[in-house]
Structure 1
Amino acid sequence: MADLDVELRVVTMSGRQVDLTMAPEKSIGEVRQKISEILDIGKWQLRLVHEGASLKEGFLHDLMKPGTCLELLALVVEEPEMLERCKLLHKCFNNRQFVYCYGSLRQVSQVVKTEKEAILNGDVAFHFEGDNLLELLLKNWKVQDIEEPMSWLLSGGASVNQCSSDGCTPLLSACARGLGKAGLILLQHGAKAHETGPNGEDSLTSALKFFARTPVKPRSCEEDMDLGRLCCLLRASDIDRGNRTLNVLERARLALSQAAIELGLCASVGTTLNKQMILDRAFDVEKSSLEAGAGEDLWAGWPGAFFSFSQPLSQDSAWDDSFSLARARILSHWTDSGQMEVDNDGAVYMG
């Protein structure tokens, strides 16, 4: 324990005692989050009392006294006002545009904005009536309205992995709707890439299926580029997960394939890719497979087999539909062609 860490002793009304240490720069909100996790209750249900006063704002260093242990009383409360807030927000995140509030029909985004502070402070049941509010947001709201409330929910303590009653996690719902930027943010916050939904599909499958569909409404190039980047990260995660059961040659081929899709999926029109460029990108290719003279076995099926999201890699050079459709979707922002051609030297022209 560092000399400046704060010792805390938390006692519940039932007499349970929890001792822990935290850095003095931690906010009261972070303290509440930590203690609520230890006590296995919602942060919104926890009230911390110090010397007769309820702690709501500030930092630990505002309360610490040198050489003493900070004693806190933990109360579990479910105030009617907070329950009504949770019910209202559940309705808001479960609807696309409007919700009845205070006797009138109001826009959900405006209602949620009035509860911004409560969301950021964690005074909300982020999992309410069997639903993860973050998942509901990503499943139901208009794309242009998602970014800001998503940041509030994540800052407040919403789970990136908890399912809603429909069996979907936030990442699964984001991928099903082609929300690449949201998916990238979820991965940064620790979302699990390999969870499957009620239909048995994982996030990568859902995202690739979105690419294969004709969009209902026009999307920006950046939205499709973000989804492409997300697909590449999800594929990399799949490879890392399965590498322990693969031999050296299989690992090398998958590393080359990963490099190929990363270079090729979002490449600009007219880019030409060859084997050396793929090798240079694939930093983690097993050098021993090259030194052992894998030769033609290493590149079997080039190029089509390598521009693929599939596992294991085929040795057939036919192009993988999932990659081709995703590439064509991204290219549609610039050209109607999207044809990929191979020259006599085996280089791939990304039309």
Structure 2
Amino acid sequence: MKILVTGAAGFIGSMQAIRLLERGDEIVGIDNLNDYYDVNLKLARLARLQNYPNFTFIKLDIADRAAVANLFAKEQLQRVVHLAAQAGVRYSITNPHAYIDSNIVGFLNILEGCRHHKIDHLVYASSSSVYGANTRMPFSVHDNVDHPVSLYAASKKANELMAHTYSHLYKLPATGLRFFTVYGPWGRPDMSPMLFASNILQDKPIDLFNYGNHRRDFTYIDDIVTGITKVLDKPAQANPGWLSDNPDPGSSTAPYRVYNIGGNSPVQLLDFIAALEHALGKTAIKNLLPMQPGDVPDTYADVEDLIVEFDYKPDTPLRVGVDAFVAWYTEMLGKGKDELATQ
């Protein structure tokens, strides 16, 4: 198939593109290569993709309406994996406009492209952050998520609502995936695994909010891309049992679905740090701090629907995933930025 992967220079986007390329799909990857974090890392991810003859990269900002329209008109795409977004809960507190431009305007442009060019299936990134003030564990897609606690979370909830509208009006098969704390090689430097590893190696304190009492459903990157691929291959279908007087938030009479995609096994943050310490061979200096605005104490994914419908089995043990991440990270540190960008 010919598939568009947005955010192709990103962590999940680049790994997803490789998985699809290796099975023989033709991939068009787009990314705006912004400087939210080190562009050299994004260029290094792209360099890996450009080793594949069936990969085409186009530098493009999804907030550019005309450019997105031209892309869909030119490329004759069949399916779309939409992973481009402005990420980060804490960054959304200080830079709210970036989330409207990318996550709302950009997503609308992608929806319009899918609508006008009869895309077979749109799979897009949502987030576990949509659960917000919910406290019932594990988080279920069949529960309402009407109380986001950050603008990032609100933008992802808005994406789900926008996708449903297009599924209802235009019969666009659309599946949203709520990611839970993805980690692994080629990860983002603004996320906790790399921040922690960097500070541990430099004998600097690591900040542990909520006094280290967070639990996160850490999910290894290989398990994520396996799940995305399984979902992509099975376009969303209408739920014939959907009831308007008892509506299921995770499905619809339209070809629309939402799924959690996570490790299905929450990990104490201190246990994750212990695995990092073991892999790095160093002890962390811990700086215990109160809860940050926009944070939630725990995340825990109910992935039963993915297990039943797609035979999804996240099976990477924490120590295995952390060891693989640390091996990549320490190798990366041995390379200068110029060398990294050519790998």
TM-score by length of 1: 0.23
| Structure with the larger RCO, 1 or 2 (CA within 8 Å, 6+ apart) | 2
Q: Which structure has the larger Rg? A: 1
